[in-house]
Chains A and B, each alone.
Chain A
Amino acid sequence: MLGLSVTLAHYLVVSALIFGIGTVIALSKRNAVAVLMGVELMLNAVNLTLIAFSRFSSAFGQNGQPLSGHVFVVFVLTVAAAEAAVALAMAVLVYRQRETVDLDRINLLRG
């Protein structure tokens, strides 16, 4: 009706944008929690890609490979949750030792 249609490429571009922004956040932020936010966004972008491929795949819903993309996303969610728990625990631990979570100032090995 709008003369447009949403295709696989639309979702992939959105996912690429989110992944790029996530990369910038993960690389450039000082606070460890903010870096973790970037990593979560990157994982989310990958999830979107997997779901989009699964939906637009020509084998979708057939007996060959039904919904494998969804299963991968379930695993990514699992890993993301585990990673967030451990990473935030480490941030809290580093804070207890050094009273900062600023990644630029956690430089004990600089000599």
Chain B
Amino acid sequence: MESPGIIIAFWVLAAVTVGGCLMVLVARNLLHALVFLVLAFLGMAGLFVTLSADFIAVAQILIYAGSIAVLMVFAIMLTPLAARDNANSLYLLPALAAGLGIAGLVSVVAVITPWSELKGDALGQSDPVTTVSAIGDLLLGRYVLPFEVASILLFFALLGAIVLVHERRGPREGS
């Protein structure tokens, strides 16, 4: 990945993503935090595009920015009397320590480990034209059992969400 386009795209998208995450942390309003969260999700989709993962990038936009963000909107709007200020609890300092520790540790490990990664021309040659059909083959071939389990999980999550939020009312009057 040495072409200037990829390099510029990587740095810009990384800045957008990490900046969006930071703004989720420091925003004073829950709705503002949600907007920055969507920004971070979109930046992440861009990073996936730089990694030639076209299907995953589109799925990221569809699921995270399109669905989960809207679910959060609904959750925020259905809790009208709750605080909207995105406040921190007393655990802020330990949490900061833990977060910095994890990030620092993983970063150091990532930098000092001699990864046997592809570089230069080999990387360009292994650039896939399409990933969709390969993902489909894998999902319905090697990973068919996890695929079915995931579908059952989704189904029960759907049922669970409906059952949890369903308001038990008396029989409806009228039609």
Check whether chain A touches chain B (CB < 8 angstroms): yes
Interface residues of B in 115-166 (CB under 8 A from A): 115-120, 122-123, 126, 128, 131, 134-135, 138-139, 142-143, 146, 150, 153-154, 156-158, 160-161, 164-165
The reply to whether A71 and B89 form a contact with Cβ atoms under 8 Å apart is no
When the two chains form the complex, which single residue of A21, A31, A78, A82 contacts B30, counting CB atoms closer than 8 Å? Answer: A31
Q: A28: which B residues are within 8 A, CB to CB? A: 88-89, 91-92, 95-96
Closest CB in chain A relative to B13 CB, distance in Å: 9
Query: Known contacts A12-B106, A91-B75, A92-B75; is A66 also within 8 Å of B98 by CB?
Result: no
User: Can you list 25 residue pairs at the A/B interface with Cβ under 8 Å?
Assistant: A1-B7, A2-B4, A4-B2, A5-B1, A5-B120, A6-B1, A6-B50, A11-B47, A12-B110, A21-B99, A25-B24, A28-B88, A33-B72, A33-B76, A41-B21, A51-B53, A54-B51, A75-B143, A84-B72, A85-B158, A86-B157, A88-B72, A92-B164, A100-B83, A103-B89
Beta-carbon contact of A93 and B117 below 8 Å? no
Smallest beta-carbon distance B59→chain A, Å = 6
Q: Once the chains bind, are A82 and B21 in contact (CB under 8 Å)?
A: no
| Interface residue SS majority, chain B | helix
| Additional 10 contacts, C-beta under 8 A, given A8-B117, A58-B118, A89-B164 | A12-B107, A17-B21, A19-B103, A33-B75, A34-B24, A44-B60, A56-B123, A70-B56, A70-B134, A86-B164
A residues contacting the other copy or chain, number (CB 8 A): 80
A78-B150 in contact given A6-B7, A10-B10 (Cβ < 8 Å): yes
With A and B bound together, what is the CA distance between A78 and B137 in angstroms?
A: 18
Q: Which of A17-34 contact B (CB under 8 A)?
A: 17-31, 33-34
Give B contacts to A, CB under 8 Å: 1-4, 6-8, 10, 14, 17-18, 21-22, 24-25, 30, 33-34, 37, 40-41, 44, 47-48, 50-53, 55-56, 59-60, 63-64, 67-68, 71-72, 74-76, 78-79, 81-83, 86-92, 94-96, 98-104, 106-107, 110-111, 115-120, 122-123, 126, 128, 131, 134-135, 138-139, 142-143, 146, 150, 153-154, 156-158, 160-161, 164-165
